[in-house]
Amino acid sequence: MYARRSLRRFLRVIFRADGDSGAVPRENMQRDKVRFDVAVVGGGVVGALTARELKKYALSVAVLEAADDVAAGASKANSGIVHAGFDALPGTLKAKYNVAGNAAMEGVCCELGVPFARCGSLVVARSGEEAGLEALSERGRENGVEGLEIVGRDRLLQLEPHIAQEITAALYAPTGGIVCPYALTIAAMGNAMDNGAQLLCGFEVTGAQKSSDGWRLASADGREVSARIVVNCAGAGAERVAALFGDTFFHIGLRRGEYMLLDKSVGTFARHTVFSLPTKAGKGVLVTPTADGNLLVGPTSVEDGAYSTAVRREAFGEIAQRALAMLADIPFGQVITSFAGERAYSDRHDFILEWGAEGVFHAAGIESPGLTASPAIARDVAAQIAGALGAKGNAAFDPFRRSAHWFRELSREEKNAVIAQDPAYGKIVCRCEEVTLGEILDAMRQNPPARTLDGVKLRTRAGMGRCQSGFCQPAVFNELMREWGMTAEQVTKNGKTSFIIAGGEI
């Protein structure tokens, strides 16, 4: 984990005058044309980390996000697993970037103050399935994964006391880990913005026109951005965005994964990420601790013709049946919420990382292990873009960002010193997660600023506890109104028309 900064540095950062946020409100752009060296389309984990890596070079960078906040798609609704790298076929981009991303993840999280733990993973098997474990182990060794070991039931029970009776062996991968995916995305985007990148939310790219020195990109609301190079990191929308540039050489499919999240009181029920043997449909249902202390079970695998994050009623039974075949007595009575995310996969069933039309680079089809691979993908994509533009390094780049949860990590004495300077840190707003008013105000004032209830939730965890915002939502609602000068009718759950009060109109 990252080293704790001194209290003096904390106080200096907390109470300094705010600088340029890096966010460009749409009302300030109107129909103005803004020119950048690079425009990154998509504010998911790959887009955010790519923007951050690009700022390590002397380049002007804009991130164009269709939603009203970053981490709005798959990057806020996935398993949060840092895969070891034994599943991907040798020689594929998935295999290459999985192992490289796994190696890079801990350092990136350290710089960005993001929760990360190398808890290890287990692929479990029943009698007669041992050959599948051997095949995965051999594949992992070919991919360069270190420390792989096939363990019998006695050793397995030491690793996971709740292992199901039918399980006889497992492939143990100690390099597997867990990370908070939306925290990583938000922190990476914030660090990019702190270093000068611009974030344009609500900018759904609907038009692209070639110019003498790059591309002009238009949004549905009349804004326009010019860039010398465009990087397509649009996730589920990557195929549509590619077609705007005349690139039709790949197809994106959608596969929905549904999850159940259990309370922190049972967060240590599983010590590792536990998988069953993978199938053609994917890695299947898993049981894992999360980086924030919950227990996560899922996902399902539902082929979708259109984007949907609805959770089917039958999903609960499907998840429970498959999970209980791996671990016995999972305390499903402690489920506090369910959610679903769409995974965008390519018709190649591998990552697409290549140039298309002149000045357009596609980073598409980044399905699992895309989260794991994202730091390595971003590093290599940025290097290619910088090389194409002949960009020099940015000596002023600062890779460090204060943890979003810095206050709760302080000692009692340090907390009291902070509260003495700013009483807002002494007022608890979210009782379940013990989130203070000071932290909520931080979320609305640092990059990228939270402007919605979900935006505050993803940055602070206010509303993520057992009561699922039943207590704290009114207080957060009122703070959003005060901070942004909104009326009650303008506050939204996650942007656009998700108004809390029916009939609201921006």
- The residues that are catalytic are 83
- Two tokens, residue 485: 């000068």
CB 360 within 8 A of CB 228: no
Residue 243 burial by CB count (10 A; 0-12/13-18/19+): exposed, middle or buried? exposed
Residue type, 322: R
Which backbone phi and psi does 422 adopt, to 5 degrees?
-145, 100
What is the Cα–Cα distance from 121 to 171, expressed in whole angstroms? 8
Q: Strand, helix or coil at 143?
A: helix
* Cβ–Cβ under 8 Å, residues 299 and 79: yes
Neighbours of 393 (CB within 10 A): 10
Strands (E), 431-487: 435-436
Query: Residue 204, Cα to own-chain centre: how many angstroms?
Result: 20
Instruction: List b or e across 100-130, with b for residues whose CB sees 16 or more CB atoms inside 10 angstroms.
Output: bbbbbbbebbebbbbbbebbbbbbbbbeeee
C-alpha–C-alpha distance, residues 432 and 471, integer Å: 9
Token duo for residue 464? 């993520």
Residue with tokens 């029916």: 502
Give the Å distances, CA to CA, from 126 to 140, 152, 277, 466, 483.
20, 11, 10, 35, 56
3: which 2 tokens? 């080293």
> What is the dihedral angle through the alpha carbons of 273, 323, 275, 157, rounded to the nearest 10 degrees?
70
Contacts for 39 with CB less than 8 Å, ≥ 6 apart? 61, 62, 63, 64, 215, 217, 225, 227, 229, 230, 231
E strand or H helix that includes residue 223: none
